[in-house]
Amino acid sequence: MPSRTVVVASEVGLHARPAATFTRAAAASGIPVRLQVAGGEPVDAASMLAVMTLGVGHGQEVVLSAEGERSEEVLDSLAALLGKP
């Protein structure tokens, strides 16, 4: 399964507006995308509640993974949306 490691650039991390923007993009991709913090279980990246529950802060490293057609393209797009590769 392809993955990308990203450092979250948003000053507020994945809270409220940045999380909403990210989850909408993940849902619009049309393929299953997962988000994971170090040492944690992966969650559905299209779920606002699941993403907010992770409590991802500014500068924190996360791992995105996806399965399906166009997964590499989708991961590149979502990684760019989150921050610094």
More confident residue, 71 or 38: 71
- The 8-class DSSP code of residue 55 comes to T
Name the strands in the sheet holding 83-84, side by side, starting at the edge strand that comes first in the sequence.
Answer: 43-44, 33-37, 61-66, 3-8, 83-84
Q: Which fold has domain 3-84?
A: Histidine-containing Protein; Chain: A; (3.30.1340)
Catalytic residue among 2, 7, 9, 15, which?
15
Examine the pLDDT at 85 and tell me if it is beyond 50.
no
Domain ranges of the chain: 3-84
pLDDT at 1: 86
pLDDT at 39: 85
Within the chain, strands assigned E span: 3-8, 33-37, 43-44, 61-66, 83-84
- Residue 25 · residue 64 · CB < 8 Å: no
58 is catalytic: no
Indicate the pLDDT class of residue 68, thresholds 50, 70 and 90: very high
3-state SS class at 62: strand
| pLDDT mean over 44-64 | 97
Q: What is the per-residue pLDDT across 4-48, written as a single tens digit (0 to 9) for each?
A: 999 999 999 999 999 999 999 999 999 999 999 988 999 999 999
pLDDT at 84: 58
